[in-house]
Structure 1
Amino acid sequence: MNRAEREAAVRHLMEQRPPQVPPDLYADVVRRGSRLTNRRTAARRVMWLLLLAAAVAFTAWALSARPWVEPPSQTTPPVITW
């Protein structure tokens, strides 16, 4: 099939009347779309909740463990004066 034949076939398809869509299809599509939207919204809320819980857990750990403070020395300091 060369280019002219393809263009003629496309023109023929474009000039045809579009196929009839079943009347109850719109309601099914709207219901499915709203279900998908609700699932995405719920998933987004759960992810934000998990992120918030992780941030609170990290903050509580950091405040109790204080990792920025140098740990106490395990050896005694050297004796300088006798």
Structure 2
Amino acid sequence: MESAKATILEFLEKKTGDKSKFYFNDFTKLFPDEKGRDVKKVLTELVKAEKVEYWSSGSTTMYGLKGAGKQGAAEHED
């Protein structure tokens, strides 16, 4: 699980310059031999550890590095 967490964090850090939020399916592509449920468990652990956050539009859930992107910047404005 630790290597999977590192893989996800590395992916997010490399891609954050392009965009800050990613669909669940973007992460399943990183682990083609794993079941979606196992990938979801890793993402959930990263959310609990506050390394990753999820964002929901109501119909779609996306994941990104905590505090990254426009949403993250707006949340810290006073």
Structure having greater relative contact order (Cα 8 Å, sep ≥ 6): 2
With the length of structure 2 as denominator, give the TM-score of the two structures: 0.20
